[in-house]
Structure 1
Amino acid sequence: MKSSLLRLKCLSEIKSGEGIPFLTPDVSPGTHCPMRMASVIVEDIEGLSSLLVGMPECTTHSRLFSPYPEGEKGELHWLYVLDSREVVFGCRDGVMEALKKMEKAGARSILLIATCIPDLIGEDFEGVIQEIQSELSIRVAFVMLGQFKNVSYPAGSWKTMEALVALMQRQITVSNGVNILGRSPKEEHTPLPSLFPFLERNGLKLRYLAPGASLDDFCVAPDAVLNIVVSPYTQPLAIKMQKEFGVPFISLHNCYSVEEIDKAYEEIAKQFNLSCKGVFDEERKEALVLEKQAANICHGLKYVLSLRVDLPLPLTQYFITKLGMKPLLLHMEEYYPEDKNYAKSIRKSGYDPLVCRVVNEYTALQILQELSPDLGIGYLPNTNDTFPWVTDMFDFYGQVGYGRSNAVLKRLLCAVNKSSHFSKGGTYGTSSI
């Protein structure tokens, strides 16, 4: 292995997000602080207030992207700045007083967001909330987001969504109620998967839970008979809702192959005694055709995964098992609990790719070229004169089902077919589609 790659680890060596090394020692401009994601999410949930606890630099940074202490519907987004005494002895009393003031000022529910210093000194916010909850008529949840434990931004999303379970209340189950976890009710830029109109036509009531939904929607979410997960950021929420309220879930965000999608759709249909026969035939047949074409054209291609690929391990498993492609290096922003199963499957297939975080996109390309890949997948600037790239993969975030797989395969085939690397004497030949 060349010297610039020696700092990296193989997938088999990664056990958590903290273990993912940076591709380069110069990590500027770095990744987003998870606190930022939590603040943005809270601001986008109508009716939910927040109390961010941290040092002056944390609170100042928070105001850059969340500039107003009041929301459009009367929400409160307050900042609690630690003084020197609290940094040493803790902020228990001050935070409890702040929560009381927020309730008096009109907050309906509060998410307490703890940053690095409270996490570092071991402030017991679970104990704080247990002690103060009996004195409040509103519910309070908390999330710990010290960046030294959460190296990248996804934790700010999935841990915040998971924390919202504490604001939920047990409900009488609605037999036709389904939560779609990871899609906003106001979503416009992401195409609606064909599955959801099918479910609605058959009398199911869909509730979309993501930033953009309301606090009321989250509070009554346990009334659903099923959760359908369409985002990795809401998988932990689904798991916790199953544990706390017994709401089962089916995940679609990690299904790429026709067989995986078939199985998930059949499980959903069985839950409500529905039949999918003939409903999705057109897009399913297209997926089978595209999978066959991609397997013929892309078999044996060595590739690297770069930025803006939200599910690197499920996608890599799909590329290996269905297309016969060979992973060399994977950029991973986060290592989710379910990623252990995908890593195991990838290893069983005979591959153990390098894993890293690409955070300095302007120096990454030169290093990735040392691996001599045939193909790049994801985002990097200035890739036109190198090996072919499948770009804009983050366009598929929030999409699921046959339609998502079809779009991914079309983009993959387009990149390979257009590249002179393959069509003019390159390692692999291509055929038209």
Structure 2
Amino acid sequence: MDNLKHLKKLSAIKSNAGVKFLTPAAFPGSHCPMHTALALSGKIKGLSTLIIGTSECTTYSRMVIPQATGKNGELHWMYVLDSHEVVFGCRDGIVNALKKMDLAGAKAVLIIVTCVPEIIGEDIEGIIFEIQPEIKTSLTFVLMGHFKCNSYPSGSWKTLLSIGNLMRKRETSLNTVNVLGRSPEEDHVPMPAVLSLLEKKGFSLRFLAMDSSLDDFLNAADAALNIVISPFTQPLAVMMEQEFDISYISLHNIYDVFEIDKAYAEIGEKLSIKWGKEFEEDRQHALFSQEKAKKIFAGLKFVSAFIGPTMVVPFASYLTGFGMEPLLLHMEEVYPDDKQYIKELVERGYNPPVCHMINNNSDIPVIERLSPDIYFGYLAGEKLDFTHVHDIHNLYGQIGYGRTSYLLNDLLQIFDSRTQSGKEVLENGIA
């Protein structure tokens, strides 16, 4: 297809810079990673922020964090560059601002660097190295130049990684497990079964995500194990393994029943516990759905668009295990751990083009010409000429056998209904 000639194939993708927009009708402004960095850091209790940028960036920041003072005394300040600083740098002004935040009682400050100070090469790391011995406030920083990426997930994972730089080595607590990627206030999302069982077995779960406290992060280096349930927290887990020798087990990127078996066995081994038959019912449901899917999904072609925080490449790799063929993949972010799944897909003979889909009105005609059997992703209010599964977002916060059952049962329901009716399920599907 001529519409796809400008796109790179999956095997050629090394970073976000290689992922092109599907059509020219893109509006990437809302995808600025600064927004995500502020939204996350503004919800960490006890963490202050200093955003450095032009008036456009700092004014926009007030749409994310409206008040200069947080509910728990956090300071959310802005440093607005003047015309002289845009040319000659802003070192002295930043130093003075950080000293003022220290005097005002900030416990820790995340410095968020936007495009202009990053382009002119302001040495924030050098400033922190120089001033840290002079103040009580702990300092860390994150580079959020939008010119380096087309999207916003890096605003989450880079911010978490920067907060992780405030951690210090602690004595290991054998009954403490960090859960990376779930909020302690996320009551609207059911607690995954494996986490509930760990609590029943006497383990203390510390949740590291939005709405956690700064102290949760500062104390996190004492955990016996990190369980990762979000792609945004995987880089933090890798860093903690390197710096503090805390092993991690990733559950956010696996769907296959036998891979889940392996991960749960590893959790038991790391924590010196033995699972009984607690998961057996859920496992059997997932295994039954998986075996049924192998008979129905083989040969079906799909397009994967924006599916929330679900990682597109591991998801696509799982689907190709049923013999499904990916025609086009939307990658909101190229994560460091995507490499192994890219390798899996290519070794199976699949190497689809990769893109950013931003504008429904221009993107949908391109998708229709590909004639997929099924389309994963959110397309609000559109009438489509292909089966559309838009509630993939409902997988958020789910892991393990339960997530696999939920996913496959929805897909099986779609194709059961399609077979019974003798025609395609149209108009947003039924999932």
TM-score normalised over the length of structure 1: 0.95
Mapped partners of 2:384, 2:367: distance in 1: 14
SS of structure 1 residue aligned to 2:415: helix
Match of 1:424 among 416, 422, 425: 422
Give, in angstroms, the shift of residue 378 of structure 1: 1.3
Does residue 286 of the first structure (1) align with residue 285 of the second (2)?
yes
User: Aligned ranges for residues 302-313 of structure 1 at < 5 Å?
Assistant: 302-309=301-308, 310-313=310-313
Aligned to 1:430: none
In 1: Cα distance, 2:237 partner to 2:67 partner: 31
**Who is 2:403 aligned against?**
404
Give the aligned CA root-mean-square deviation in angstroms.
1.5
Contact 1:35 1:145 in 2 (8 A): yes
Q: Hey, what's the Cα distance between the residues in 2 that align with 1:385 and 1:270? A: 48
Whole-Å separation in 2 of the counterparts to 1:197 and 1:385: 40
SS in 2 for 1:283: helix
Deviations 1:288-341 (A, max 9, x none): 0111111111111000001124211111111111x2111100111000111111
Tell me the distance in 2 between the aligned counterparts of 1:416 and 1:383.
20
Instruction: Quickly say closer, same or farther: Cα 1:415–1:383, change in 2 above 3 A.
Output: farther
Range with greater deviation from structure 2 (306-315 or 130-139): 306-315
CA pair 327-423 structure 1, distance change in 2 beyond 3 A: farther
CA distance in 1 between counterparts of 2:298 and 2:277 reads 31
Q: Deviations over 1:204-262 (max 9, x none)?
A: 11101101100011100001011100000000011111112111111110111001111
Cα pair 2:307 2:376 within 8 Å, conserved? no
Structure 1: how far apart are the matches of 2:17 and 2:300?
Answer: 30
Paired positions, count: 424
For the 8 Å contact 1:388–1:419, the answer to whether it is kept is no
Tell me which amino acid in the other structure corresponds to 1:135: E
- Per the TM alignment, residue 150 of structure 1 is displaced from its structure 2 partner at its CA by 2.5
Q: Which residue in 1 is equivalent to 2:184? A: 185
- Is the Cα–Cα contact under 8 Å of residues 30 and 360 in structure 1 kept in the other structure? no
In 1, distance between residues paired with 2:250 and 2:207?
A: 15
Q: Which amino acid aligns with 1:424?
A: G
One-letter amino acid matched to 1:312: V
Shift of 1:28: 2.2
Aligned to 1:381: 380
Amino acid at match of 1:86: E
Q: Distance in 1 between matches of 2:30 and 2:414?
A: 28
Corresponding position of 1:329: 328
State the distance in 2 between where 1:148 and 1:418 align: 46
The CA deviation string for residues 330-355 of structure 1, in whole angstroms up to 9 with x for no partner, is: 11100011111110110000000111
SS in 2 for 1:399: coil
Deviations 1:361-410 (A, max 9, x none): 22211110111111111111344441111112122122111111111111
Query: How big is the shift at 1:34?
Result: 0.3
- Asked whether the 8 Å contact 1:389–1:415 carries over to 2, the reply is no
CA distance in 2, matches of 1:213, 1:117: 31
| Residue type at the aligned position of 1:119 | E
**Partner residue of 1:254?**
253
3-state DSSP of counterpart to 1:198: helix
SS in 2 for 1:410: helix
* CA distance, structure 2, for counterparts of residue 66 and residue 339 of structure 1: 32
How far apart, in 1, do the equivalents of 2:117 and 2:70 lie? 25
Q: Secondary structure at the match of 2:84?
A: helix
Contact 2:28–2:150 (CA under 8 A) maintained in structure 1: no
Kindly tell me: are residues 29 and 239 of structure 1, through their superposed partners in 2, closer, same or farther at Cα, counting changes over 3 Å? closer
Residue 315 of structure 2 aligns with which residue?
315
Local SS of the residue matching 1:65? coil
Q: Counterpart amino acid of 1:376? A: Y
- Which residue does 1:130 correspond to in 2? 129
- Contact residue 140 and residue 166 of structure 1 kept, 8 A: no
**Which amino acid is 1:400 matched to?**
I
CA distance in 1, matches of 2:50, 2:29: 25
Report whether the alignment pairs 1:63 with 2:62: yes
Name the aligned partner's letter for residue 141 of structure 2: F
Q: Which runs of 5+ in 2 are unaligned?
A: 425-431
**Gap regions ≥5 residues in structure 1:** 427-433
Cα pair 2:178 2:227 within 8 Å, conserved: yes
1:104: which partner in 2?
103
Instruction: Pick closer, same or farther for the CA change 1:423–1:295 going to 2, 3 Å.
Output: farther
Quick one: which amino acid aligns to residue 327 of structure 1?
A: P
Report how far residue 418 of structure 1 moved.
Answer: 2.7
Stretches (4+) displaced over 3 A = 382-385
Amino acid at match of 2:359: N
Shift of 1:423: 4.6
Instruction: Give me the whole-angstrom Cα distance separating, in 1, the residues matched to 2:11 and 2:170.
Output: 42
Q: Specify the SS of the correspondent of 1:340.
A: helix
2: CA distance, partners of 1:98 / 1:370:
55
C-alpha contact (below 8 Å) 1:30/1:359 kept by paired residues: no
Secondary structure of the corresponding residue to residue 393 of structure 1: helix
Structure 2 residue 213 is the aligned partner of structure 1 residue 214: yes
What SS does the aligned partner of 1:148 have?
A: helix
Amino acid at match of 1:222: A
* Aligned-partner SS, 1:113: strand
**1:431 is matched with which residue?**
none
DSSP-derived class of the 1:64 partner: coil
1:407 and 1:397 map into 2 onto residues whose CA distance is 11
* Distance in 1, Cα, partners of 2:77 & 2:89: 19
Deviations 1:81-140 (A, max 9, x none): 011111111111111110110011111100000000111111111111000100011210
> Is contact 2:50-2:109 (8 Å) kept?
yes
**Alignment partner, residue 428 of structure 2:** none
State whether residues 31 and 359 of structure 1, in contact with CA within 8 Å, keep that contact through their aligned partners in structure 2.
Answer: no
1:124-163 superposed matches below 5 A = 124-163=123-162
Mapped to 1, the partners of 2:136 and 2:217 lie a distance apart of 18
Aligned-partner SS, 2:25: coil
The aligned counterpart of 1:33 is: 32
Q: Relative to structure 1, is the Cα distance of residues 9 and 423 closer, same or farther in structure 2, using a 3 angstrom cutoff?
A: farther
Contact 2:25 2:362 in 1 (8 A): no
Q: Look up the SS of the partner of 2:174 in the other structure.
A: coil
Give, in whole Å, the separation in 2 of the partners of 1:31 and 1:83: 25
Secondary structure (helix, strand or coil) at the match of 2:146 reads coil
